[in-house]
Amino acid sequence: MAEPESTVINTNVKQKDPSKALVIAVTTRAIFNLEKEHKLYLEKGKEEYTRHQQANQDKPLPPGTAFAFIQAVQYVNKKMLESNPAENDLFDILVLSNNSPESGARIINSAKHYGVSAALIFQQEVQAPSTPLRVVFDGDAVLFSDETDQIFQEHGLEGAVRYEQAMEAVPMGEGPLKTFAMHLGKMRRKFSQEKSPIRTYLVTARSGRDMGIRAIKTLREWGLAIDEAFFMDGAPKGPILAQIQPHIFFDDGLHNIQGAQNVGVPSAWVPSCY
């Protein structure tokens, strides 16, 4: 929506240490389902949209695509603080909204209804289901660099396999989400595997037989523990994602993003470097 951007700060929320916290920005349209309201805005304009929001300000908006993700993140914070009340390695969720103050009351009331703060920052006291945060990463061009993808584009599958076999002992380069995954790993190591509130997965198009060894060695070199790894050998990822039911899935392939959406899995596209 092309409204002027505005923010509401809850001054009762203690800011987490920005040098330690893992900050995630989420829009209100991701947390709440505002598709009907957005359509009204596009068809009838800002004034009608504002009137609608004001008239329905006490009617909670339904949860959106990222709602379960936010709940799971808050559950991680809760378990981290139960383990260590002085913990600094926490998630800090920033909620971004372009609603004007007069139309933003419904979003604030919706947040209150679901037990989250009516602010840019979600409080750690939010009532979240006791379910681990499940995050799925693709491999090449996401966790790892796109070096092998580039070989595949230029020389096909056989060329990529030969390259991987020749480079088996050399760790792959870092992908755009390696730092994020490492931070999750750091948080995860504070718990035993059985009690961890975080579960991470690798779901890659690579063949486990021909191209899996280097991926595993790279993760080992990084010290990044992954709960489960699936080497799909080019098969669709949707059925596996449907079984895992992650809170978020990261992939650089739009066809895989579409496959995830087809089975109801929230996903994020990581643009390729080439």
Residue among 89, 92, 138, 140 flagged as catalytic: 138
Give SS3 for 206. Answer: coil
Dihedral over Cα of 224, 228, 232, 237: its sign: negative
Q: Which tokens go with 31?
A: 């947390």
Euclidean distance between CA atoms 76 and 187, whole angstroms: 9
Q: How far is CA 132 from CA 7, 8, 63, 213, 261, in A?
A: 30, 29, 19, 28, 21
Contact 80, 202 (CB under 8 A): no
Euclidean distance between CA atoms 267 and 69, whole angstroms: 11
Per-residue model confidence as pLDDT tens for the chain (274 residues)? 433 333 333 333 344 565 677 888 888 889 999 999 889 989 998 888 888 988 998 899 999 999 999 889 889 988 999 999 888 888 887 777 766 555 566 777 787 788 764 733 223 333 445 689 999 999 999 999 999 989 988 998 899 989 998 998 899 999 999 999 999 999 999 998 788 999 999 999 988 777 888 888 899 899 998 888 888 888 899 999 999 999 999 999 999 999 999 999 999 999 975 5
Euclidean distance between CA atoms 51 and 72, whole angstroms: 33
Q: How many degrees, rounded to 5, is the angle at CA 8 between CA 5 and CA 13?
A: 140
**Residue 138 is among the residues annotated as catalytic for this protein:** yes
Give the DSSP letter string of 144-202: B-SHHHHHHHHHHHHHHHHHHHHTTTSPPPB-TTHHHHHHHHHHHTTS-TTT-SEEEEE
Phi, psi of 231 (to 5 degrees): -100, 105
| Helix 46-55 with 105-113: angle, nearest 10 deg | 40
Euclidean distance between CA atoms 120 and 9, whole angstroms: 6
| pTM greater than 0.95 (yes/no) | no
